[in-house]
Structure 1
Amino acid sequence: MLTTRFMKQSLRGSLYKAAPSTMAIPRRQFAATAVHNTNISEIITSDHRDLEDAYNHIKNAADAEERGKWQNQFTWALARHSLGEELVVYPSMEKHLSNGTQMADHDRMEHQVVKELLYKFQGLEPNDPEFIPVLDNLWGNLAQHIKEEEGKDLPELEKSLDEGESRQMASSFQRTKQFVPTRSHPNAPNKPPFETVAGLMAAPMDKIKDLFRSFPETKDQATK
């Protein structure tokens, strides 16, 4: 009896240990940027280049399956990046710059347009006739926002920060992205603290659904 019970417990334990390997957690790809000694402008600019890379992969995809993987990658990256800026960068602009409130409000308005387009894009099938037109419209708005941010907003913000503050903000930005939703939720608040609460509520469900989505896998890219 004891032997039988021991065998059952051992078998049950081995099954429990083996279970996690039956579901491979999808790896989101992009060249990792080391946060150490990296300022906020560098970390955000790196994200921008990653988004451009994902956009180009979608446009040049060989088939619908590949387009779908990069669609998920683009959505995952842009949703997290946008919320990271709204929770970390824009409040800092409001705090440190004389015209920071106006700049942050302008950027939030641009984000709202992008979020609404991303929400539509993330729900499209890769072979949908609207897929590429919606993507191009989304990228057109995002590219203009990126140009303004890199050309004006970030340089002004960096001037108001010392090196330590900028690096600390970069670390906070990267940490924040680990806890925010990975899909677009355009009806959610876009300012803390309400945005923080809404994000914490939506993020778990987004991340569970990500387990069942396909993402690109490449050897020359590392997870963020």
Structure 2
Amino acid sequence: MTRIKAAVKQDHALIKDLYHRLRDADPESRDPDEFVWALGRYLIVEDLVLTPALENHIANGGARHRRLSNDFDSITTKLRHMRRFDPSEPSFDAALTAIWVDLEPHVREEATMDLDDLEQHLSHEESTALGKKYEDIKELLQHPYGKNGVPDGDTLSAILDLSRQELMIKIGLF
């Protein structure tokens, strides 16, 4: 079974790879949907699993929860903004870079501080249970969609526009 730190870091690696592939792709043939979906799904699962775990298990967890919630709001707003542009437009590149400006320090801080702190305060079993919950919710969000599990643009926009409460109800967590 996967511990929470490994599950989150696996998503970090996927998102970094997709970002770099999207950024470096020929602007005329870029398809941002896989990156947008991987990042959106990660933010949702992080918000539902990792953020509450940090708040409940580590010192200053409430402050970290607020910081992660602010990151969630900022990055999802920037994702919605980026989706307004055609991938071949210079504005798309600027919007993609703006996402990375928020995302890169978020990932770095989470990987080097938050996850290590959390693992120190969890037993192996607790970490494995959180890792399973993280993967289960990610899998739940993954299945009903088209090519490579990526929803079409309309579905993707609808998911990103849901409030946290509405999303939790839709995926059966409430």
TM over 0.5: yes
Deviation of the 1:63 alpha carbon = 4.7
The 5 Å alignment of 1:84-163 reads 84-163=45-124
Partner of 2:171: 200
| Structure ranking higher in helix proportion | 2
Query: Could you tell me the TM-score, scaled by structure 1's length?
Result: 0.65
After superposition, the CA RMSD in angstroms is: 2.1
Any gaps of 5 or more consecutive residues in structure 1?
Answer: 1-35, 202-224
Q: Does 1:175 align with 2:146?
A: no
Paired with 1:94 and 1:170, the residues of 2 have a C-alpha distance of 16
The answer to whether the 8 A contact 1:112-1:186 is kept is no
Partner of 1:166: 127
Query: Could you tell me the TM-score, scaled by structure 2's length?
Result: 0.82
Paired with 1:140 and 1:200, the residues of 2 have a C-alpha distance of 30
List per-residue Cα deviations over 1:102-133 (Å, max 9, x = no partner). 11111110111000001112332111221111
Alignment identity in percent?
A: 25
Equivalent residues, number = 159
List per-residue Cα deviations over 1:45-96 (Å, max 9, x = no partner). 111111111111112213522x11xx11101101111110111111111221
Q: 1:157 to 1:124 in 2, by over 3 A?
A: same
Deviates more, 1:117-126 or 1:49-58: 117-126
The answer to whether the 8 A contact 2:4-2:127 is kept is yes
Paired with 2:20 and 2:128, the residues of 1 have a C-alpha distance of 30
Paired amino acid for 1:87: L
Paired amino acid for 2:171: L
The answer to whether the 8 A contact 2:40-2:160 is kept is no
Q: 1:72 to 1:180 in 2, by over 3 A?
A: same
Deviation of the 1:179 alpha carbon = 3.0
Structure with greater Cα Rg: 1
Deviation of the 1:186 alpha carbon = 5.8
Any gaps of 5 or more consecutive residues in structure 2?
Answer: 143-150
Deviation of the 1:100 alpha carbon = 1.1
The answer to whether the 8 A contact 2:86-2:92 is kept is yes
